[in-house]
Amino acid sequence: MSKFASLLALLAVVPSLAYAQSPVYGQCGGIGWTGATTCVSGSVCSKQNDYYSQCIPGAGAPGTTVAPTTAPTAPATSAPGGSPTTGSAPSAPSSTPAAGNPFTGFQVYLSPYYAAEIAASAAAITDSSLQAKAASVANIPTFTWLDSVSKVPDLGTYLADASAIQTKTGQKQLVPIVVYDLPDRDCAAKASNGEFSIADGGAEKYKDYIDQIVAQIKQFPDVRVVAVIEPDSLANLVTNLNVQKCANAEATYKASVTYALQQLSSVGVYQYMDAGHAGWLGWPANIQPAATLFAEMFKSANSSPFVRGLATNVANYNALTAASPDPITQGNPNYDESHYINALGPMLQSAGFPAQFVVDQGRAGQQNLRQQWGDWCNIKGAGFGTRPTTSTGNPLIDAIIWVKPGGESDGTSNSSSPRYDSTCSLSDATIPAPEAGTWFQAYFETLVSKANPPL
């Protein structure tokens, strides 16, 4: 085994602070960090956020670089919508939404940020077969998370790049984003990582965040944008109002999401509100209240046809169609995402919301892995799932998508971290794990090796 491979193996079992220098993908700084602040040869200490700096291979470390001028173009076979239209420059979208599935006929733009993460990760793998499979993930489209105001300017860079690709090739481009920055975000989580607080003017700051996104999109009317709106937010209002922070946030969540829906509709963004997953809102006691709430939000956005529907299973592990119910789902007739969607869809229609769905299958390749259905953090043995496609086999489902960039950690297992959530130390979580959103090399390699269908 090479010295480099040995370091990677040791990283899986030994905390970073045991090293004089932090190993590749180990922590090298951040609030409260007392371990090594330099990295082994061949890697650079790169600030990911205030709480976490990470040793990234090479000088072009993800998180410190800007988007490349030319991003790789997604092959038609890997993007929802099938083969894109070619041969003529696309026209700017009308303020009236196109009929039908917004993914159809469009090529999904590949995130340069994620592509850079994949390239660095693949370069660190010594097994040639696994390395080739890992590198291929860069050609699979995933969503770009705008989880802080500082990331909004990146959207303009990506839209400009997509517009240039579109002009050059004649292939219509679709940029997928996640809007995720509500004040008092993740109100029922044990450790929220949001940047806005309701008590500190968060509602107005959120409006400014949305306004900045709208301003970026307005500059590129020729590029289609599809957005997943605020993962976990509205679902918390269905089941977690007994949590004081959620009860306090209810009015602000509704007003803020309404503002986002209305403003993004004004610039032609196709939107899917996050609707949790089968193991959250699919239970008989939750599903009708969920339908009522989502229909209310749709109407609060003036029933805009740009509010296309709902997104399910975001950053989760549920099967679209399970061969048999996972034992953890016992008691819930909606034991997979298809059952959940087929039950929820008619309820929404009856309430005046003709919703369509998108379903995240990015990490759903393996099943029967969790001890409890609510476990969500870096689940052991998970694999990449069904590739993004519009061939869903269900008229209610517009597309299978990858929302969560596979390889980015769900949360840290370091109990001394200010952002620690004990869920990330459960027996079915992969340990040790870095901070949420930072690269988790060992976990990425598992997702690649366990991919189903295989990469």
Phi, psi of 227 (to 5 degrees): -125, 135
Phi, psi of 382 (to 5 degrees): -70, 150
Alpha carbons 160 and 45: distance in angstroms, whole number? 29
Residue 398 annotated in active site: no
DSSP one-letter code for 381: T
Active-site choice (154, 398, 410, 421)? 410
Q: Is 283 annotated as a binding residue?
A: no
Active-site choice (154, 186, 326, 421)? 186
pLDDT at 96: 78
Residue 186 annotated in active site: yes
DSSP per residue over 226-254, as a string? EEEE-TTHHHHHHH-TTSHHHHHHHHHHH
Computed over every residue of the chain, the mean pLDDT equals 87
pLDDT at 82: 36
Nearest residue to 56 (alpha-carbon basis) of 446, 410, 441, 443? 441
Write the pLDDT tens digit of every residue in 1-27.
443 343 334 333 333 333 478 777 778
Residue length, the chain?
455
pLDDT band at 118 (very low <50, low <70, confident <90, very high): very high
> Is residue 366 within 8 Å of 383, Cβ to Cβ?
yes
pLDDT at 193: 66
Alpha carbons 140 and 407: distance in angstroms, whole number? 13
Give the predicted TM-score (pTM) of the model: 0.84
pLDDT at 454: 98
Q: What is the mean pLDDT of residues 112-122?
A: 96
Query: Which pair of tokens denotes residue 196?
Result: 């806005």
Q: Is 402 annotated as a binding residue?
A: no
Alpha carbons 327 and 12: distance in angstroms, whole number? 29
Token pair 């500190």 is at which residue?
200
Question: In this predicted structure, which of 102-116, 185-199, 396-410 has the lowest mean pLDDT?
Answer: 185-199
Alpha carbons 103 and 81: distance in angstroms, whole number? 5
State percent of the chain over pLDDT 90: 75
> Is residue 443 within 8 Å of 433, Cβ to Cβ?
yes
Is 324 buried (19+), middle (13-18) or exposed (0-12) by CB count in 10 A? Answer: exposed
Q: Is 408 annotated as a binding residue?
A: yes
Write the pLDDT tens digit of every residue in 248-304.
999 999 999 999 999 999 999 999 999 999 999 999 999 999 999 999 999 999 999
Residue 245 backbone class (left: φ over 0; alpha: ψ -120 to 50; beta: rest): alpha
> Is residue 61 within 8 Å of 47, Cβ to Cβ?
no
Q: Is 404 annotated as a binding residue?
A: yes
Considering only residues 341 and 16, tell me which one the structure prediction assigns the higher pLDDT.
Answer: 341
pLDDT at 53: 78
Alpha carbons 182 and 251: distance in angstroms, whole number? 12
How far does CA 404 lie from the centroid of its chain? 3
In the chain, the domains with their CATH numbers are 3-57 (no CATH), 76-449 (3.20.20.40)
Q: Is 3 annotated as a binding residue?
A: no
Q: Is the pLDDT of residue 130 over 90?
A: yes
CA dihedral 294, 295, 298, 302 (to 10 degrees): -160
Nearest residue to 278 (alpha-carbon basis) of 370, 157, 195? 370
Query: Which pair of tokens denotes residue 190?
Result: 């044990």
Q: What is the mean pLDDT of residues 228-247?
A: 97
Residue 50 annotated in active site: no
Q: Is 145 annotated as a binding residue?
A: yes
Active-site choice (154, 181, 184, 232)? 232
Is 153 buried (19+), middle (13-18) or exposed (0-12) by CB count in 10 A? Answer: exposed
pLDDT band at 134 (very low <50, low <70, confident <90, very high): very high
Write the pLDDT tens digit of every residue in 42-101.
888 888 766 677 877 764 433 322 233 233 333 333 334 333 333 333 344 456 788 899
Nearest residue to 149 (alpha-carbon basis) of 210, 71, 62? 210
The pairing of strands 356-360 and 224-229 is unpaired
DSSP one-letter code for 272: E
Cβ atoms < 10 Å from Cβ of 400: 25
